Chain A
């Protein structure tokens, strides 16, 4: 029971859509009588709690800017809310943590206020992949946090850790897998492409994507659970009911540290690296403060704190971090990751979704 409660308030709280908006309206303004303040949208639940505890007070201390944190639902529901508010000249949050697909979708409507590189000295610390740019080169967003989805196993059932994503295809694992239920959050097409087709570039053409689907169809008999609810899979993984699958590296690490018989493995093809970026609504009046905030968050020391306290993978380069090898391994890996093809989910989202649904339901 305790586990269910703890984990259903999951950090990527997928099912909480809409609630965040309501609680935002209901919440009295927490602003103190300070001239400088900023509303920051963070995924509701674990993320918001952690940021409120470990990050925002330090930021206020360092800069004098008060932070009002806003719980946001993941991905596109928040995007739609921000866009509609922006059309009315409102900004429910000045800065928001935004998923990569939502970043791209927001760019099409110029939702994100372009950022000024001159005001972001620490931007140079970031890995190049964590800088979101408009097609014309303007900066739309800056990497906030990242996390890995890896191959996880129950150590009681699998004495040996698997080494490759190809284990998902192994006929010996029939009816043993738990995989994410949506094409746009499982990133299994990319995994298929990197494991069997030489890389995610194989998905550039529709033929390539269809081929990947074909290969992916072979996984179906092995899948016991296509999950949307993270808590359900985590519980089944711990008990051994569903002993293998894809799951968040950091959460699996925490569960193992609690003594559960689970392990997270970075396959030789790499873990799936997903991330969230900071982006500023074009309706925000707090451009200055927003730049200060984003710059602050891009410091190696703050990213290291995030890795230690929140469990996210750092967005700044490894060599700038003071993380010990153990601390680094707990959240990340040097193996070249599987980078999701976010562009596909923007341009072909309905087609991919339809093919995917037919694949797993049909």
Chain B
């Protein structure tokens, strides 16, 4: 079937609805945010339409650069760890009988239904000194004394990976199911051990999917603002935490908007870079 280029305005009708939705739910809010980021802050908690760069100027400091850097580092670490764990898991999952797959997928979906607050509380209890897993280690004789594992970077990472893991599996699942299982078998007949076959065939054949998944989880993790508060020390707070502080507690919408715009731009830049590098690797 040949597709003809639209010639008449009416030919665009089929994309009118999604286009409208995009405008209503993305372009308008984001445009508003950009506009507000240039507004003048009124310390009384309001803001007035204006065109000032104060909000961006305040952001351009070593302090915020450090927070931004940490946020990107944390999100990237979460993304890479999640994908590294989810890939072998999903690969094995895709080879289970259908019934078992359904059970696993339902279990993962139920983790998705947990709110960030519940995940945060669950992990802060699990990693606490008084009721946490270290008590189990003491009982087993592995540890001398129960220890608090939270707040710490490890706790933040654990909580966020736990939260991102089901997403990662669900994004990887279709691509892995579609992957021809005979590719692995072929690799084995050609002399590769199952582990070698996984790394020389499955991983590279899914390269584009993996990059896309890392980007998706990265963006997902970048938005996390509760877990860093619940499981981390202040130095583990992400830019999203500070944005929330400004927007909700300080009523400083212009500054919150400026930080959010900056975060979005940096994110888009990183994603574009990833895509470009991916393209180059293709060619």
Contacts and interface: CB of A to CB of B under 8 A. Distances in A.
A and B directly contacting (CB within 8 A): yes
Interface string A294-326: 000000000000000000000000000000000
Contacts of A14: 249
A79 B251 contact: yes
A108 B43 CA distance: 10
Interface in B230-249: 230, 233-235, 237, 242, 245-246, 248-249
Contact of B46 (A77, A83, A239): A83
B46 A109 contact: yes
A241 to B, nearest CB: 5
A8 interface: yes
A241 B251 contact: no
A76 B251 contact: yes
B67 interface: yes
Interface size class of B (residues with CB under 8 A): 20 to 34
Interface string B160-175: 0000000000000000
B249 A239 contact: no
Contacts of A225: 151
Interface string A69-104: 000000111011001000000000000000000100
Contacts of B45: 76, 79-80, 83, 102, 105
A357 B250 CA distance: 12
Instruction: Name the residue among B43, B45, B242, B245 with the largest chain A CB count within 10 angstroms.
Output: B45
Contacts of B249: 14, 75-76, 182, 184-185
A20 B233 CA distance: 30
Interface in A328-355: 346-347, 349-350, 353-354
Interface string A222-241: 00111111011001100111
B183 to A, nearest CB: 46
A257 interface: no
A361 B239 CA distance: 11
A235 B124 CA distance: 10
Contacts of A79: 45, 251
A232 B130 contact: no
B128 A239 contact: yes
A236 B58 CA distance: 36
B140 interface: no
Contact of B43 (A17, A346, A357): A346
B229 interface: yes
Contacts of B129: 241
Contact of A17 (B242, B246, B248, B255): B248
Given A4-B121, A76-B45, A225-B151, A240 B251 contact: no
Contacts of A75: 249
A198 interface: no
A361 B128 contact: no
A240 B135 CA distance: 15
A229 B46 contact: no
B245 A232 contact: no
A358 interface: yes
Interface in B60-110: 63, 67
Nearest to B251: A76
A350 B43 contact: yes
Contacts of A105: 43-45
Interface residues of A, number: 43
A226 B251 CA distance: 20
Nearest to A84: B46
A316 to B, nearest CB: 30
B128 A349 contact: no
A360 interface: yes
Contacts of B124: 232, 236
Contact of B237 (A227, A240, A361): A361
B100 to A, nearest CB: 30
Given A182-B245, A229-B230, A239-B131, A350 B148 contact: no
Contacts of A347: 43
A181 interface: yes
Interface in B26-47: 41, 43-46
Contacts of A241: 128-131, 148
A184 B249 CA distance: 8
A132 to B, nearest CB: 15
B252 interface: yes
A259 interface: no
Interface in A205-234: 224-229, 231-232
A109 B44 contact: yes
A77 B248 contact: yes
B128 A224 contact: no
A28 interface: no
29 contacts: A8-B117, A76-B250, A76-B251, A79-B251, A80-B45, A83-B46, A105-B43, A105-B44, A106-B44, A181-B234, A184-B249, A224-B148, A229-B230, A232-B121, A232-B124, A236-B124, A239-B128, A239-B130, A239-B131, A240-B130, A241-B130, A241-B131, A346-B44, A347-B43, A350-B252, A353-B246, A357-B245, A360-B234, A361-B237
Given A182-B249, A226-B233, A346-B43, 17 more contacts: A76-B251, A77-B248, A79-B251, A102-B45, A105-B45, A108-B44, A109-B46, A184-B250, A226-B234, A229-B229, A229-B230, A232-B124, A353-B245, A353-B246, A357-B242, A357-B245, A362-B235
